[in-house]
Homo-oligomer: A and B are copies of this chain.
Amino acid sequence: MDEKPHGTRPGMADVARLAGVSAQTVSRTLSGHPNVREHTKAKVLAAVEELGYRKNDAARVLSSGRSHTLGIVVFETMFYSRSAATVGVETAAHRAGYTVSAVTVASMDSTAIQAAMTRLSEHNVEGIILALPLVQVNKGIEDLTRAIPTVCTDGSRTASTHVVTVDQHLAGRMATEHLLSLGHETVWHVSGPESWIEAGGRTQGWRETLEASGRFVPPALQGDWSPASGYQNGLILGRIPDVTAVFVASDEMAFGVIRALHELGKRVPEDISVIGVDDIPLAEYCSPSLTTVAQPFGFIGERAVERLIAAIDDPQTPAETELIEPTLIVRSSTGAPAAAS
């Protein structure tokens, strides 16, 4: 009469009963503890198999106090960098025995970010990766970063967040120097949204490089990372006679720019050179193939996870900023300017 109702998921007690051991022993064999005889282990495993037992994470987390889960907050966008970052984090975390739980945020104001972090903390994550810029930090976020180890993969930070990020300033410099070294008088720029610290870094690197070599610094145009916004800005740039080189803050916008230039009858790179940032998979295969500053997304994810786990293991770990160097990849969208008329 004390039949389990149909469809109920078997628990550890059921396994224990079938194997003729205590629940504790089942727990130990399942978590690879020592001090369990081979024979016993076999019996337990057989019972698990027969019952189709699957462990209950909620119970495990509640009881042990550890979730072995990392949280990641990403900005809702379909663009390459988003998924690249997530994938990098996921594989690194998985390798370290952690699961990652992602929450997407639709806007970047502090309330939304705080809500996302709270959700993650309710899920008992042991650490959080912020894959977006922390534009404004409110008290709630401040508290959360104090309570839970946090690493940011954008330049921004609070007092207690660790940072692992690409040196965007350097990226801007590399792109600009590449163009200058090709013989261009100056370099124009299409930036990302100003709320992104990443975008700001690139713009700054570009401007300072230009200033350092005494060139004219053109006004920066601004896009929103989308190909469409690149296209719009390309329509403007293509109408300015002086323009011979453009540094675009992302590959996707760069293709938009190129497209607009084509429509205006400008050739790339013969008339105008264009360089992007990211090195998306298509960068090599669109026409012309795109010269770009590659960001090592996988490596960033890896380092971010490593740092986060270190901070989890020892909360005293001091919060530092780690800068990763990007790589220039020269393809065929950049070249020397046409001989002056």
**CB contact between A56 and one of B124, B281, B286 (< 8 Å): that residue:** B124
- Copies of this protein in the assembly total 2
Of B101, B119, B281, which is within 8 A of A78 by CB?
Answer: B281
Q: Nearest chain B CB to A280's CB is how many angstroms away?
A: 8
Question: Are A255 and B282 in contact (CB-based, < 8 A)?
Answer: yes
A84, B90: Cβ atoms under 8 Å? Answer: no
**Listed stretches A32-40, A196-204, A256-264; interface member:** A256-264
**Residues in B neighbouring A104, C-beta threshold 8 A:** 87, 90-91, 94
User: A227's contact among B54, B147, B230, B285, by CB below 8 Å, is which?
Assistant: B285
Name the one of B57, B103, B123, B287 contacting A259, with C-beta atoms under 8 angstroms.
Answer: B287
Taking the closest CB of chain B, its distance from the CB of A159, in whole angstroms, is 17
A151 to chain B, nearest CB (A): 19
- Please measure, in the bound complex, the distance between the C-alpha atom of A121 and the C-alpha atom of B52, giving whole angstroms: 12
Find chain B residues with CB under 8 A from A87 CB. Answer: 76, 78, 104
- Identify the closest chain B residue to A118 (Cβ): B54
A286 touches B281 (CB 8 A): no
**A58: B residues at CB distance < 8 A:** 57-59, 61-62, 67, 124
Task: Give chain B nearest CB distance to A11 CB in angstroms.
Answer: 11
Q: Is A247 on the interface with B (CB-CB < 8 A)?
A: no
> Chain A: residues with CB nearer than 8 A to chain B?
7, 9, 52, 54-59, 61-62, 67, 76, 78-80, 82-84, 87, 90-91, 94, 99, 101-104, 118-119, 121-124, 143, 147, 226-228, 230-231, 252, 255-256, 258-259, 262, 281-282, 284-287, 289
Of all A-B residue pairs in the complex, the 3 with the closest CB atoms, nearest first, are A227-B285, A58-B61, A83-B83
